[in-house]
Chain A
């Protein structure tokens, strides 16, 4: 019977080509707009590390000014001072932990043809790589001892390896960065994080860095500050070391805690630490320390842009209008079929037979609209890429989940739109339609 209904549906769609095209276009436009904005929001709010996002915690200590919070209403600063970052790292109270900072420096490739260039650098601890599941192409992370010994070692990205070493296994080779020679310990494979959750202070959708370097190189080589530096009071004294000892925040800190007990213990540790520091005259504000897991931190940092959300809600309303339109058009269409429906009733079709027949018809229209919508979503996402430029590159890909959801959304919304017209059509009094019209 299904194939029969399908055949009837196609015939019916062909009988009113303009009306059918209007409905398919309406659903297609609504679905296209919604899928475009849903994709952007979905990717913005995606969990970049689902299997352990609730075991990774961003650490915040409220070291801010006694007179005002770092952020209203009473948020601790979103980064940490050098003093606190290094103290927490030395305590090693978590299962894994890494303080980090973003920086940059000039890389001088050895070959004569290759020009020196500016590379982005992340300063981090050895735990960084296992904590965030960094994928290695060659070699591995440096040892924890290298952190404390301030060894001149680096992990480089695949693109850096391609650029400086022509893509070969460069583990053990020397690379010249900020005028110093470093030994390559590991080469990462392609590593795309959407969002790049481990540091969202300068935007959540940046690329992962080109070079990863032990954290204490910040002090050792006086690496420049990248990202945001915020101070509630000026450093006391001149020079780089004075800055490091100041109350300026420029460092991020993550810990890996495997269960609630570990989390509670770490929270206690943080509070004890702050109380000790208070005794030394620091931390003038009341205790206000935070441990946020990955998704809580993304939420706190409002990683999903307001504009993206506004556009999503607008597109849902747009879809609503398109569906109302479809309901109207279906009403017209089905009321034009009253005679046929009456006849079918007379020859023995029950109401449920007719309901199924017309639901199949709306579903066919829905699927067609969904396919059109999918096409329009591709166009829409290309459009967003053109409008917003390269920094949304990672936010405009349609995966199979989204393709399936688009078709499903179209199917569900068209069937919903069809319920009332179909119900009305099936309740036509057959007798009223059979006398000469």
Chain B
């Protein structure tokens, strides 16, 4: 193909004579690209967060809170009776009393260190107080060392300050505490809680996330073998597949009628808990997606509008070109090329603005910085949007009859 036929020179010179329209489109494209690329980046980051697995059986689990009141309430007896009742309910795989729920937003964390004493390097981790049913109820696996046995488990009273002697920790916590040795070797080692109180790592579990989804050490968790004797306690229940929704109200009702000296409240599935914890991220994703789509449409319509206007204004010129031998495809090409030139300026400014906005987001809101390939991808998308938008008006221009040249309209 003869490059001279492409008329880049004349198109460019014509554009320079009507700068304002072109500049408007270019800036629109630049700002649109800035928003779209940064939005997509945020959306992808948030989706990654949301896709992190909790490590437990989200789909088939739920929990419920038991709060005793009055002087006759016996926390210990109630817990024993309740757990027996729940574990013997058909459809329940297992249940455990637990002090906090993964991803729920509230829980208990402590610092752990490998050497005793003040001002030693430490790792924060969530504490889950459970008995020997935990691995089955939570659907986690001991991948090194051993699981709790009933003899490990003690009763913890309100105000108890010390800790059980043996614990299970997550693989990620093992790696953080003992960065120099393979995680398997953490089994049997001692770590210190409250700076000086030793705990022996009895086993390592694959994964159970902490309650706080925004925490950087989300997979740092410690399981301690103890049942709490607090006035308020929580039961975590795992059911067979498909049985959860039937069992939730059934167990709530059974517990409520079994003992009147307490209130049964806060019945919620783990799925809903996760949904609530990530609701802000999910909302952000939806809002940014909607914004992107509408913005792209607005920009495309703007291009269509200005291109149609420019076609109308140049009707006679186009007729003349046709009369002078320009084919229909040459006319389409003229407008597509014109738009391509404008878009190119737009996406180059857009690339600069995109990186600029990302730097602002990094500095002000501590967002991660953009991966480089988002920029060329965004440029490509905006180029395409421009070409698609201008195609309609360009086709319309190509249909202008050559006879128009001789008419004085």
Chain A interface (Cβ < 8 Å from any Cβ of B)? 19, 22, 26, 29, 33, 66-67, 105-106, 108, 115-118, 178-179, 222, 224, 233-235, 237-240, 242-243, 305-307, 309-311, 314-315, 317-318, 320-322, 324-325, 327-329, 331-332, 335-336, 383-384, 387-389, 420, 424, 436-437
A67 to B111: give the CA distance in the assembly, Å: 14
Interface flag for B232 (CB, 8 Å): yes
A333 to B205: give the CA distance in the assembly, Å: 69
Question: What 0/1 pattern do residues 365 to 390 of B give for CB contact below 8 A with A?
Answer: 10000000000000000000000000
B69 touches A436 (CB 8 A): no
- Identify 27 residue pairs between A and B in the complex whose beta-carbon atoms are under 8 Å apart, listed by A's number: A26-B302, A33-B294, A67-B119, A106-B67, A118-B263, A179-B69, A179-B70, A224-B232, A233-B195, A238-B159, A240-B159, A305-B280, A311-B287, A314-B35, A321-B299, A324-B28, A324-B302, A325-B299, A328-B302, A328-B306, A329-B302, A329-B305, A331-B20, A331-B306, A388-B280, A388-B283, A436-B408
Return A336 CB to nearest CB of chain B, in Å.
8
Query: What are the residues of chain A within 8 A of B288 when measuring CB–CB?
Result: 311, 314
Query: What are the residues of chain A within 8 A of B279 when measuring CB–CB?
Result: 387-389
Query: What are the residues of chain B within 8 A of A320 when measuring CB–CB?
Result: 31
A324 touches B27 (CB 8 A): yes
New A-B pairs, 18, CB < 8 Å, besides A108-B69, A387-B279: A26-B302, A108-B70, A118-B263, A118-B265, A224-B231, A307-B280, A310-B42, A311-B284, A314-B38, A315-B291, A318-B294, A322-B298, A324-B27, A331-B20, A336-B309, A383-B287, A384-B287, A387-B286
B280 touches A328 (CB 8 A): no
Interface flag for B251 (CB, 8 Å): no
Query: What are the residues of chain A within 8 A of B52 when measuring CB–CB?
Result: none
B232 touches A115 (CB 8 A): no
Return A325 CB to nearest CB of chain B, in Å.
4
Which residues of B, 254-287, contact A by the 8 Å Cβ criterion? 263, 265, 276, 279-280, 282-284, 286-287
A307 to B279: give the CA distance in the assembly, Å: 12
A325 touches B69 (CB 8 A): no
On whether A306 and B286 interact (CB within 8 A), knowing A67-B118, A318-B291, the answer reads: no
B408 touches A325 (CB 8 A): no
B283 touches A242 (CB 8 A): no
A325 to B307: give the CA distance in the assembly, Å: 12
On whether A307 and B284 interact (CB within 8 A), knowing A115-B263, A321-B299, the answer reads: yes
A436 to B118: give the CA distance in the assembly, Å: 94
A437 to B313: give the CA distance in the assembly, Å: 12
Return A155 CB to nearest CB of chain B, in Å.
21
B71, B118, B298: residue with the most chain A Cβ atoms closer than 10 Å: B298
Interface flag for B25 (CB, 8 Å): yes
Interface flag for B4 (CB, 8 Å): no
User: Is chain B's interface secondary structure helix, strand, loop, or mixed overall?
Assistant: helix
Query: What are the residues of chain B within 8 A of A437 when measuring CB–CB?
Result: 409
Query: What are the residues of chain A within 8 A of B31 when measuring CB–CB?
Result: 317, 320-321, 324
A102 to B52: give the CA distance in the assembly, Å: 32
Query: What are the residues of chain B within 8 A of A243 when measuring CB–CB?
Result: 159
Interface flag for B21 (CB, 8 Å): yes
A179 to B67: give the CA distance in the assembly, Å: 12
A238 touches B160 (CB 8 A): yes
On whether A242 and B159 interact (CB within 8 A), knowing A321-B31, A324-B27, A388-B283, the answer reads: yes
A325 touches B302 (CB 8 A): yes
Query: What are the residues of chain A within 8 A of B306 when measuring CB–CB?
Result: 328-329, 331-332
Select one of B265, B282, B294, B305 contacting A332, CB under 8 A.
B305
Query: What are the residues of chain B within 8 A of A26 when measuring CB–CB?
Result: 298, 301-302
Please name the residue on chain B nearest to A388 by beta carbon: B283
B42, B309, B365: residue with the most chain A Cβ atoms closer than 10 Å: B309
A322 to B295: give the CA distance in the assembly, Å: 8
A380 to B291: give the CA distance in the assembly, Å: 11
Return A185 CB to nearest CB of chain B, in Å.
22
Select one of B35, B286, B305 contacting A19, CB under 8 A.
B305
A67 to B119: give the CA distance in the assembly, Å: 6
B287 touches A22 (CB 8 A): no
Which residues of B, 11-32, contact A by the 8 Å Cβ criterion? 20-21, 24-25, 27-28, 31-32
A315 to B286: give the CA distance in the assembly, Å: 14
On whether A325 and B301 interact (CB within 8 A), knowing A29-B294, A178-B69, the answer reads: yes
B263 touches A116 (CB 8 A): yes
B263 touches A106 (CB 8 A): yes
Listed from nearest, the 5 A-B pairs whose CB atoms lie closest are: A332-B309, A387-B283, A106-B69, A239-B159, A325-B302
A239 to B288: give the CA distance in the assembly, Å: 50
A346 to B338: give the CA distance in the assembly, Å: 36
Interface flag for B158 (CB, 8 Å): yes
A314 touches B291 (CB 8 A): yes
Please name the residue on chain A nearest to B72 by beta carbon: A179
A314 touches B39 (CB 8 A): yes
Which residues of B, 116-161, contact A by the 8 Å Cβ criterion? 118-119, 158-161
A310 touches B298 (CB 8 A): no
A117 touches B39 (CB 8 A): no
Query: What are the residues of chain A within 8 A of B280 when measuring CB–CB?
Result: 305, 307, 388
B276 touches A389 (CB 8 A): yes
Return B384 CB to nearest CB of chain A, in Å.
18
Please name the residue on chain A nearest to B108 by beta carbon: A229
A331 touches B21 (CB 8 A): yes
B42, B195, B263, B286: residue with the most chain A Cβ atoms closer than 10 Å: B263
A233 to B263: give the CA distance in the assembly, Å: 34
On whether A29 and B298 interact (CB within 8 A), knowing A321-B31, A388-B279, the answer reads: yes
Query: What are the residues of chain A within 8 A of B299 when measuring CB–CB?
Result: 321, 325
A409 to B42: give the CA distance in the assembly, Å: 28
Query: What are the residues of chain B within 8 A of A332 when measuring CB–CB?
Result: 305-306, 308-309
B28, B194, B287, B312: residue with the most chain A Cβ atoms closer than 10 Å: B287
B28 touches A33 (CB 8 A): no
A185 to B176: give the CA distance in the assembly, Å: 54
A254 to B31: give the CA distance in the assembly, Å: 46
B35 touches A117 (CB 8 A): no
Please name the residue on chain B nearest to A387 by beta carbon: B283
Query: What are the residues of chain A within 8 A of B408 when measuring CB–CB?
Result: 436
Query: What are the residues of chain B within 8 A of A233 when measuring CB–CB?
Result: 194-195
On whether A387 and B295 interact (CB within 8 A), knowing A240-B158, A314-B39, A335-B313, the answer reads: no
A305 to B284: give the CA distance in the assembly, Å: 12
Query: What are the residues of chain A within 8 A of B114 when measuring CB–CB?
Result: none
A242 touches B161 (CB 8 A): yes
Return B162 CB to nearest CB of chain A, in Å.
8
